[in-house]
């Protein structure tokens, strides 16, 4: 009896694999029937109504806009709380609830004026007092990371619409940085809360195209449209409701989209899945540029990796085209220098040495590394093998593939890499606390305002500089670049900085990925913004999306 | 004369048991399955060229064909080769896990059963604690925080958590054997305890332990697959769980059926072979059943 049971169980397992396949074929057949609909025109007046269901990868860490710090939360919170600035389609920061900010000639005064007639969802007008309150709380209670931006900055509110910031030294990207990253809260509600840091904010009152009406953690977040929103072409959003559903597993989310449980994914989907959706007539796939990039960081405290010859040889041994092909399925761009090609302006010819296996071998041979024990791995003069551990988060598929490619690439020049998949939190702990690592594959999340953000990554005192990079010339260039007022000055210091970093190689940039987002094409009007933070789920986009009738 | 008679009866018993096993159809299927796996593992370098890193971009996710019997994966690598080499790692993991389980489980079981008293309380206490801990999550945590992710490390982790069942079974059969008159006789004759334990007790208590070992072998490979599937295995060694992990992570789980089918079949084949083998051995060594 037991044996029969085992056999039956095995057969069921095998059969279920095939059933899974045939289902997707059926879906493919259905898609073809829908093609006719796509050609129809939609009339203006019939755009209102309907619900969109969005797949996200997790619940927001909190609904408190002053402490929330994760991407899943930002998709929801950005729809209900405003910022001073937003991204446009080219990745520039443009005014959202304010007019164009005025920066004085000496760069020390920034005047911000609110747009006319904006009101919180409870009817109270939005004033400069709200901005003042938010920034004050942020700075006094040291919330998120944005409070650091407000260091040495004072401000005043001469009237209800204006706020004037005074800086001690020029910081041209001050208003774009704080303006883009910091959400504003209504002072009349939040000034009555005692413990803002731990406030759960269960009934948020904000400003945006939608308001949160109902939610169940782990299940759904229902947002309903507001009656008036200035970014909507017809005065208010077309969609009646927006529902967010968390799917912790990306494959499950893709299946949910396929089966119609959700209409769009807020999180980017794997390239293979995107290809599948591209082939279907029921879905559209759009791609956006990432503002960060993937990189191989080097621990400069390591006795062997201290040697710039090893780092240079490693940089030359990496075949980035294979990383683009295999780890990102073609949806990525090679990084030639330290600044992402997304920012064309800063591509000024300071590039890392390009792919050259023979050249890399020569550098190592000239520096005295020889394979003295004939094990295929080069040895340092003291006999030590050139063998390094490279860590990556086991949850990031692309990084695992990058590690496999790097192992092969390094083998070709006689360096052994040992991949070490680990829990993301352990990797973070090693980078920020213990310093017990040699190489790591990571992502720089979103590098915006390049001229100021380089200092947050590579300055010898920066908390993100776990590589331990310390070059006084580069430090000076980064600081001057941050406070440079004229374009010429900025570019001058940018050039010095780039030359230093491409010579020192503390970090090897790999590729900039493109993110794929898929949506059911009964919806139209999405606005695609750069970075994984925005994608096609952002206030600008959702205030314009409608259902094709 | 007596010696001779004893030997012949011993041989007779063995002959009877082997005959019983040979007549046991399920057991024989299991045996052939295990032999097949061992041959594949040994001859892996002859059967398929090892693959590593990445292949050609054009060879990405190809369907099974005469050139690639099991198709290719999303890195453009041949899956047949990966499944064949995966057999090696699976058997390696199984053997290391079994050796460790024996090395820890048997002494604990023997001492608890033979001496009883405080030894029993402590030995079985530890065993019970280990049996109540949810093993898989614990192994996953250890694999996640372990410094090394080599296949040996994974096998080691599985081994140090597989011994409780062996300890229990050793103890219960030791208890049974200790009650026999010949043990009492051996004690009276002044034979050293070590010799009694190893020659008389362990040898006679080994049958159920042996049956259990094949089950440990089968379950170890399922555990290894689970750990690898979660991305905590050795990234450079081919194992069936690792292939499944890659397949799932590739996003091609729904379309490239060959990617997940062949490693799954290999795991099923491995587990069934060892389970069938254990059924055969159990029935053959059980006098009541082998007599029937």
Residue A503 to residues A258, A309, A444, B42: CA-CA distances in angstroms? 48, 10, 20, 49
Which tokens in the block code for residue A223? 């947002």
> What does pTM read for this prediction?
0.75
Is B128 a member of any domain? Answer: yes
- Structural domains in chain B (count): 1
Task: Kindly tell me if the per-residue pLDDT of A14 is higher than 60.
Answer: no
- Interchain CB contact of B148 with A (< 8 Å): yes
Which tokens in the block code for residue A490? 């900025």
pLDDT given for residue B151 in this prediction: 83
Q: Is A421 within 8 Å of B254 when comparing Cβ atoms?
A: no
- Rounded percentage of chain B residues whose pLDDT exceeds 90: 33
pLDDT given for residue B8 in this prediction: 62
Domain of B229, in residue numbers: 33-40+79-285
Q: Which of B52, B231, B254 comes nearest A421 by C-beta?
A: B231
CATH number assigned to the domain comprising residue B152:
1.10.3720.10
Closest residue by Cα to residue A123 from A64, A207, A238, A239: A207
CA pair distance B233, B224, nearest whole angstrom: 8
Q: Is A10 within 8 Å of B268 when comparing Cβ atoms?
A: yes
Q: Which of A3, A273, A421 comes nearest B232 by C-beta?
A: A421
Lowest mean pLDDT among A31-35, A318-322, A388-392, B2-6: A31-35
Burial B55-66 (b: 16+ CB within 10 A, else e): beeebbbbebee
Task: Kindly tell me if the per-residue pLDDT of A94 is higher than 90.
Answer: yes
Check if A82-207 and A293-513 are the same fold: no
Which tokens in the block code for residue B238? 């081919």
CA pair distance A511, A331, nearest whole angstrom: 10
Is B260 a member of any domain? Answer: yes
- Interchain CB contact of B75 with A (< 8 Å): yes
Lowest mean pLDDT among A88-102, A152-166, B170-184: B170-184
Dihedral (C-alpha) A315, A319, A322, A323: value to the nearest 10 degrees? 0
CB-CB neighbors (< 8 A) of A407 in chain B: 52-53, 236
Q: Which of A6, A24, A273 comes nearest B272 by C-beta?
A: A6
Q: Looking at per-residue confidence, does A407 or B187 come out higher? A: A407
Which tokens in the block code for residue A72? 């899943």
In the predicted model, what is the mean pLDDT of chain B?
Answer: 85
Nearest-Cα residue of chain A relative to residue B58: A325
DSSP state of B57: G
In tens, the pLDDT along B160-182 reads 888 998 999 999 988 888 888 88
Q: Which of A20, A326, A423 comes nearest B144 by C-beta?
A: A423
When pLDDT is averaged across residues B210-226 and rounded to a whole number, the result is 87
Task: Kindly tell me if the per-residue pLDDT of A270 is higher than 70.
Answer: yes
Instruction: Tell me the H-state helices in A346-423.
Output: 357-366, 397-411
CA angle A262, A267, A272 (to 5 degrees): 90
pLDDT given for residue A20 in this prediction: 37
pLDDT given for residue A67 in this prediction: 86
pLDDT given for residue B188 in this prediction: 84
Does CATH place domain A293-513 in 3.30.70.100?
Answer: no
DSSP state of A126: P
CB A401 within 8 A of CB B75: yes
Is B244 a member of any domain? Answer: yes
Instruction: Tell me how many helices (H) and strands (E) chain B has.
Output: 14, 0
Closest residue by Cα to residue A217 from A356, A444, A81, A56: A56
Which tokens in the block code for residue A7? 């056999």
In tens, the pLDDT along A457-490 reads 899 988 789 999 999 999 999 999 988 888 899 9
A interface with B, Cβ–Cβ below 8 Å? 3, 6, 10, 13-14, 17-18, 20-21, 24, 250-251, 254-255, 258, 269-273, 276, 322, 325-326, 329, 394-395, 397, 400-401, 403-405, 407-408, 411, 418-423, 426
pLDDT given for residue A3 in this prediction: 52
Please give the class, per CATH, of domain A82-207: alpha beta
Q: Is A13 within 8 Å of B268 when comparing Cβ atoms?
A: yes
When pLDDT is averaged across residues A106-124 and rounded to a whole number, the result is 93
Q: Is A404 within 8 Å of B260 when comparing Cβ atoms?
A: no
Task: Kindly tell me if the per-residue pLDDT of A41 is higher than 60.
Answer: no
CB A392 within 8 A of CB A421: yes
Is B63 a member of any domain? Answer: no
CB-CB neighbors (< 8 A) of B275 in chain A: 6
Beta pairing class for A507-520 and A332-334: antiparallel
Q: Is A272 within 8 Å of B248 when comparing Cβ atoms?
A: no
Nearest-Cα residue of chain A relative to residue B25: A3
CB-CB neighbors (< 8 A) of A272 in chain B: 61, 74, 250-252, 255
Task: Kindly tell me if the per-residue pLDDT of A506 is higher than 50.
Answer: yes
Q: Is A408 within 8 Å of B52 when comparing Cβ atoms?
A: yes
Q: Which of A251, A401, A408 comes nearest B253 by C-beta?
A: A251
In the predicted model, what is the mean pLDDT of chain A?
Answer: 87
Task: Kindly tell me if the per-residue pLDDT of A8 is higher than 50.
Answer: no
Domain residue ranges of chain A, discontinuous segments joined by +: 82-207, 293-513
Q: Which of B145, B257, B268 comes nearest A21 by C-beta?
A: B257
The residue to which tokens 């759960």 are assigned: A200
Closest residue by Cα to residue B210 from B287, B124, B113, B277: B277
The band of A16, judged by pLDDT with boundaries at 50, 70 and 90, is very low
pLDDT given for residue A15 in this prediction: 41
Task: Kindly tell me if the per-residue pLDDT of A153 is higher than 80.
Answer: yes
- Interchain CB contact of B47 with A (< 8 Å): no
């Amino acid at each position: 009896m037991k044996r029969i049971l085992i056999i039956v169980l095995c057969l069921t397992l095998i059969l279920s694999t095939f059933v899974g396949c045939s289902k997707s074929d059926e879906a493919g057949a259905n898609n073809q029937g829908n093609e006719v609909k796509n050609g129809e025109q939609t009339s203006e007046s019939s755009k209102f109504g309907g619900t969109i269901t969005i797949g996200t990868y997790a619940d927001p860490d909190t609904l408190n806009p002053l402490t929330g710090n994760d991407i899943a939360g930002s998709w929801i919170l950005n729809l209900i709380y405003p910022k001073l600035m937003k991204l446009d389609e080219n990745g520039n920061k443009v005014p959202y609830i304010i007019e164009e900010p005025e920066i004085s000639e000496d760069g020390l005064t920034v005047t911000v004026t609110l747009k006319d007639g904006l009101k919180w969802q409870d009817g109270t007008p939005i004033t400069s007092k709200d901005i003042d309150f938010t920034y004050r709380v942020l700075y006094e209670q040291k919330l998120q990371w944005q409070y650091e931006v407000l260091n040495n900055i004072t401000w005043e509110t001469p009237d209800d619409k204006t706020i004037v910031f005074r800086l001690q030294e020029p910081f041209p990207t001050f208003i774009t940085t704080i303006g883009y990253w910091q959400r504003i809260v209504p002072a009349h509600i939040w000034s009555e809360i005692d413990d803002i840091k731990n406030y759960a904010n269960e009934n948020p009152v904000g400003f945006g195209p939608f308001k949160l009406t109902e939610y169940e953690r782990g299940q759904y977040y229902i947002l309903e449209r507001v009656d008036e929103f200035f970014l909507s072409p017809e005065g208010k959003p077309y969609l009646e409701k927006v529902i967010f559903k968390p799917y912790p597993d990306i494959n499950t989310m893709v299946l949910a989209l396929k089966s119609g449980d959700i209409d769009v994914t807020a999180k980017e989907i794997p390239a293979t899945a995107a290809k599948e959706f591209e082939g279907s007539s029921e879905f559209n796939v759009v791609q956006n540029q990432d503002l960060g990039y993937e990189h191989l960081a080097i621990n400069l405290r390591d006795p062997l990796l201290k040697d710039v010859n090893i780092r240079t040889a490693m940089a030359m041994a990496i075949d980035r085209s294979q990383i683009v092909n295999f780890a990102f399925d073609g949806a990525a761009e090679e990084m030639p220098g330290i600044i992402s090609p997304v920012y064309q302006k800063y591509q000024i010819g300071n590039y890392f040495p390009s792919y050259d296996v023979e050249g890399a071998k020569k550098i190592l041979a000239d520096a005295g590394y020889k394979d003295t024990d004939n094990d295929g791995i080069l040895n340092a003069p003291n006999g030590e093998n050139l063998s390094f551990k490279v860590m990556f988060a086991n949850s990031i598929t692309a990084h695992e593939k990058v590690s496999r490619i790097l192992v092969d690439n390094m083998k070709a020049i006689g360096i052994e890499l040992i991949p070490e998949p680990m829990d993301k939190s352990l990797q973070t702990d090693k980078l920020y606390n213990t310093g017990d690592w040699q190489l790591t594959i990571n992502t720089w999340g979103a590098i915006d305002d390049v001229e100021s953000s380089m200092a947050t990554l590579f300055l010898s005192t920066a908390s993100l500089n776990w590589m331990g990079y310390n070059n006084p010339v580069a430090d000076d260039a980064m600081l001057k670049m941050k406070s440079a007022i004229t374009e010429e000055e900025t570019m001058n210091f940018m050039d010095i900085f780039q030359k230093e970093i491409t010579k020192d190689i503390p970090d090897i940039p790999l590729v900039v990925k493109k993110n794929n987002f898929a949506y059911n094409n009964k919806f139209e009007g999405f606005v695609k913004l750069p970075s994984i933070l925005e994608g096609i789920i952002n206030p600008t986009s959702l205030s314009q999306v409608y259902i094709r009738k | 004369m007596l010696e001779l008679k004893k030997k012949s009866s011993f041989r007779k018993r063995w002959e009877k048991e082997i005959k019983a096993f040979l007549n046991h159809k399920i057991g024989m299927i299991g045996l052939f399955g295990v032999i097949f796996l061992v041959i594949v593992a040994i001859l892996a370098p002859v059967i398929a060229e090892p693959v590593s890193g990445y292949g050609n971009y054009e060879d990405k996710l190809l369907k099974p064909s005469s050139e690639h019997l099991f198709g290719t994966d999303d890195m453009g690598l041949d899956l047949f080769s990966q499944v064949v080499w995966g057999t090696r790692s699976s058997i390696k993991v199984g053997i290391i896990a079994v050796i460790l389980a024996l090395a820890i489980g048997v002494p604990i079981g023997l001492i608890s059963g033979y001496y009883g008293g405080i030894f029993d309380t402590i030995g079985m206490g530890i065993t019970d604690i280990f049996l109540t801990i949810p093993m898989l999550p614990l192994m996953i945590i250890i694999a996640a925080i372990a410094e090394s992710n080599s296949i040996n490390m994974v096998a080691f982790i599985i081994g140090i958590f597989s011994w409780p069942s062996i300890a229990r079974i050793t103890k219960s059969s030791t208890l049974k054997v200790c009650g026999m008159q010949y043990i009492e006789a051996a004690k009276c004759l002044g034979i050293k305890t070590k010799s009694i334990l190893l020659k008389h007790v362990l040898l006679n208590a080994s049958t159920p332990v042996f049956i259990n070992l094949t089950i440990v072998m089968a379950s170890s490979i399922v555990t290894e697959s689970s750990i690898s599937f979660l991305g905590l295995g050795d990234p450079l060694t081919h194992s069936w769980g690792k292939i499944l992990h890659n397949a799932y992570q590739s996003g091609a789980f729904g379309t490239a059926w060959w990617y997940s089918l062949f490693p799954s079949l290999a795991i099923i084949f491995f587990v069934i072979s060892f389970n069938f083998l254990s059924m055969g051995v159990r029935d053959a060594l059980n006098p009541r059943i082998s007599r029937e």
